[in-house]
Amino acid sequence: MSRFVLFGCAAILLGANPRGSPADVAAGAATFRSHCAPCHGFTAEGGRGPNLTTGIFYHGSSDADLLANISDGIAGTEMPGLFYSEDRVWQVVSYIRSLSARSHTASNGNPEAGQSVFRGKGCAQCHRVAGEGGRVGPDLTNIGQMRSPEHLRQAVLDPNADVRPRYWVVTLTTKDGRDYTGFLMNEDTYTVQFMDLKEQLQSMQKSDLAAYRIDKTSKMPSYRDSLGARELSDLVAYLSSLRPAPLRADAGSSR
Amino acid sequence: MTQFIWIILTASCMTAQVTSERISNADREPGNWMTYSGNYQGWRHSALDQINRENAGHLKVKWVYQMPTTIFVETTPLVADGVMYVTEPPSNVVALDPATGRQFWRYRRELPPKINVCCGQVNRGVALLGDRVFIGTVDAHLVSLDAKTGAVLWDVTVADYKTGHSITVAPLAVKDMIVCGISGGEYGVRGFLDAYDAKTGKRRWRFWTIPEPGQAGSETWPHGSAAWKTGGAPTWVTGSFDPEQNLLIWGTGNPSPDWNGDSRPGDNLYSDSAIALDADTGTLKWHFQFVPHDVHDWDAVQVPVLVDDEWNGQRRKLVYWAHRNGFAYVLDRQTGQFLRGGAFATQTWAKGLDVNGKPIKLPNTDPSAEGTYIFPGVQGATNWYSPSYSPQTKLFYLAAWENKSVYRKGEQQYSPGNRYIGSVPLIDLPDDPGTGAIRALNPKTGERVWEYKLLTKPWAGVLSTAGKLVFGGSDEGYFFALDAETGKEMWRMNTGGIIRANPVTFMSEGKQTVAVAAGSGIFAFELTQ
């Protein structure tokens, strides 16, 4: 049965949120801080996970959607489920709803103009969207689903703010005198695997290396000084728009 | 010793039954591995030396047994009288031919759909006694199986799985009893240790690891509160047995909720403690609490290592214990008295230990709403994976971690069967995941004799042998043999699967064999001809 059919049934059966009192909101906030804040931020305005204060949720904005997504997690994303009773999850839903009151407008940029910025500023030399572009930087095909606009804005202005280990920079010299720089793909006690700057996959024994260093900083330059405010908004709007096409309820698979 | 004698020894045991006496004298038949730690003293050491420093480079895979599971395989294989017994997560048992890895029988447990186990539906192994095999299950039953067929002889409920009780520990066969611990420290269980009649499954005794109001130790829980009923202190790692004193020495886990101690002011006995119980009655003889009022989840779930040795010029019964909190301890085994202790890994929470072994806590080290960075991390400087003691080198070997966590304090509301942990700490910092090592300590001084560095944190135990080798594994999937005196690597192999188990060694068809679980398989190694 498709997930959407399940959600649909849940919405019909569950109806409205039964735990919406101020006390429930406070209890939900406590749960949120313990369980959700590590990704969504202590103010719920996003981090590695999306901003939850806008009232708009990509995976469904109904109470039933939120209940299901918090309880069970969201497949294909880093969102895990909670092991709590429905009542307690409803409290978290109430807390999240209470945040929409202080929501601000989402990115007001123009995605089409942002796409031109993306092309014009050379982003595609390193980043790939839908199979086009470079490979050494993160693939951005679905980045709008993975990251909040705030996080994307920060990543453009300050690439070092959050560098995934996959993009840490390997610099090494082999004992026979060859130099390499690349992006860390895997490492263990004895070996290292990386993509060099020519997009070649490399694997080396550490015992064959004369020098070996890993920098936890990004190779990407900051665009703080090279983008105008408008260009930045447009670029963020474009990146935010990069999402897989939403599944249609009537097109669910029969798995 | 010659191969010929081994064949005779192995053959002569083919029809024997595993008895508590045989386990007590495990050093006399190193061809078998009859109990979790190899002997009752928790040494995980073998007198076998066919594989040694000189020839370890010639080790190769003898066979692999693959399990149809995606759960971490944490089992310690037992080998007795020509059969290997391993558990297959969640709660199955398989009997194998130790020479070929081929299956004799398989016990497959049907489980209810919703079982709460904090950290995976794992299992660490069986116990053997008589002609029976014993397994604790994740739905909190203890089951006795026929060693020849796997048929169920009895199946008793240890506790209710719906309240977060589960069993992952390998039971311990002692005298005519099966001693079995419980898991559930993340679900607010009240911990206990049980002993069951091996023949009938009837419970002989239960020791509650949290005293009820009025009992000794209850003053370490808040007066007039029900916190003790949901206070944790489970017993999820196999303990040791001192036959001479008839004492079981066992470790207890964290108090619940883990990272918020507001509802449980006091030391919270007997959480995070070594407890010594009379094996016949389950009566507490002594205890030593490593972490009073723990708020970091630093269970005392390590295998107690029991050694008789000189201490300040006198022969003394000792317990060596490297604890999750980053300190290694020496205790007197007759009284539980603290003799010495010191850090074996980086720790930033205590100034040291006082004369009684109590930690001198540093300020601002408790979990906080905004998060507190502390070494060691939530999973400790070591954990459940076994250490090893070699009577030959008199060194204590262990897998150690250098890492920190961000400890967050949060809500602490109890509801039966749900997590009761008082926050979710950031366990692994993505950009600072920490490193690991195999370390050799002089247990009497705490001095580090050598270290074998690992890039990542190992969840695998260590095995020492009379071949002057220490075997260990890593999360990277490597299994390796080190020189027991220097830590120098003598051999390694990439198994291709995460190793989260303890190695064992035994004789099969006249050849010393080393076995360890890796990925979802059991790997057996022997020397090439």
DSSP B153-210: EEEEE-S-GGGT-B--SPPEEETTEEEE--B-TTTT-B-EEEEEETTT--EEEEEESS
pLDDT value of position B160: 96
* Distance of alpha carbon A242 from alpha carbon A239, whole angstroms: 5
pLDDT value of position A15: 56
pLDDT value of position B245: 98
The three-state secondary structure class of B489 is: strand
* Distance of alpha carbon B272 from alpha carbon B220, whole angstroms: 13
Cross-strand pairs, B243: none
Are B411 and A216 in contact (CB < 8 Å)?
Answer: no
Residues of B in contact with A192 (CB under 8 A): none
User: DSSP label at B522?
Assistant: E
A14 touches chain B (CB under 8 A): no
Residues of chain A predicted below pLDDT 50: 1-14, 102-105, 250-255
Which one is catalytic: B297, B308, B366, B475?
B297
B21 touches chain A (CB under 8 A): no
Chain A closest CA to B110's CA: distance in Å? 23
Residues 6+ apart with CB under 8 A from B26: B32, B34, B35, B38, B39, B40
Residues 6+ apart with CB under 8 A from B160: B140
Give the CA dihedral B479, B484, B490, B493, nearest 10 degrees: 0
Give the nearest chain A residue to B436 (CA atoms): A189
B162 touches chain A (CB under 8 A): no
Type of residue found at B254: N
Told to judge if B297 belongs to the known catalytic residues of this protein, a careful annotator would answer yes
In contact, B131 and B146? CB cutoff 8 Å: yes
Give me the residue label for tokens 């029900």: B226
In contact, B85 and B107? CB cutoff 8 Å: no
A163 touches chain B (CB under 8 A): yes
The three-state secondary structure class of B507 is: strand
Residue B287, both tokens: 């205890």
pLDDT value of position A3: 42
Residues 6+ apart with CB under 8 A from A178: none
Residues 6+ apart with CB under 8 A from B488: B482
**Chain A to chain B Cβ contacts (< 8 Å):** 50
pLDDT value of position A43: 78
Peptide bond into B367 cis (omega under 30): no
How many C-alpha atoms does B187 have within 13 Å on its Cβ side? 23
Cross-strand pairs, B338: B331
Chain B closest CA to A172's CA: distance in Å? 17
A38 touches chain B (CB under 8 A): yes
pLDDT tens-digit profile, chain B (529 residues): 445 455 444 444 445 799 999 999 999 999 999 999 999 999 999 999 999 999 999 999 999 999 999 899 999 999 999 999 999 999 999 999 999 999 999 999 999 877 888 888 999 999 999 999 999 999 999 999 999 999 999 999 999 999 999 999 999 999 999 999 999 999 999 999 999 999 999 999 999 999 999 999 999 999 999 999 999 999 999 999 999 999 999 999 999 999 999 999 999 999 999 999 999 999 999 999 999 999 999 999 999 999 999 999 999 999 999 999 999 999 999 999 999 999 999 999 999 999 999 999 999 999 987 789 999 999 999 999 999 999 999 999 999 999 999 898 887 788 888 888 887 666 667 678 899 999 999 999 999 999 999 999 999 999 999 999 999 999 999 999 999 999 999 999 999 999 999 999 999 999 999 999 999 999 999 999 7
Using the Cα atoms of residue B154, residue B158, residue B161 and residue B164 in order, give the sign of their dihedral.
negative
Q: Would the CATH topology of A3-104 be identical to that of A111-162+220-241? A: yes
How far does chain A reach from its first CA to its final CA, in angstroms? 6
Residue B164, both tokens: 């977060």
A139 touches chain B (CB under 8 A): no
Are B418 and A83 in contact (CB < 8 Å)?
Answer: yes
State phi, psi for B220 to the nearest 5 degrees: -90, 10
pLDDT value of position A254: 41
* Distance of alpha carbon A190 from alpha carbon A188, whole angstroms: 5
Chain B closest CA to A181's CA: distance in Å? 20
CATH topology of domain A111-162+220-241: Cytochrome Bc1 Complex; Chain D, domain 2 (1.10.760)
* Distance of alpha carbon A220 from alpha carbon B409, whole angstroms: 36
The three-state secondary structure class of B58 is: helix
* Distance of alpha carbon B292 from alpha carbon B341, whole angstroms: 16
* Distance of alpha carbon B195 from alpha carbon B198, whole angstroms: 9
Which residue segments constitute the domains of chain B, with CATH numbers given? 3-527 (2.140.10.10)
CA-to-CA separations, A13 to A6, A88, A108, A199, B88, in angstroms, rounded: 11, 18, 37, 52, 39
Cross-strand pairs, B240: B249
Architecture of the domain made up of A165-215: Roll (2.30)
Nearest to A33 among B369, B418, B454 (CB): B369
Give the nearest chain B residue to A28 (CA atoms): B411
Segments making up each domain of chain A, as ranges: 3-104, 111-162+220-241, 165-215
pLDDT in tens, A96-116: 988 875 444 455 899 999 999
User: If we measure between CA atoms, which residue out of B419, B384, B423 comes closest to residue B164?
Assistant: B419
Chain B closest CA to A30's CA: distance in Å? 6
A35 touches chain B (CB under 8 A): yes
CATH of domain A3-104: 1.10.760.10
Give the nearest chain A residue to B431 (CA atoms): A165
* Distance of alpha carbon B480 from alpha carbon A203, whole angstroms: 21
* Distance of alpha carbon B323 from alpha carbon B290, whole angstroms: 8
Q: How many CB atoms lie within 10 A of CB B17?
A: 14
pTM, two decimals, is: 0.86
In contact, B472 and B381? CB cutoff 8 Å: no
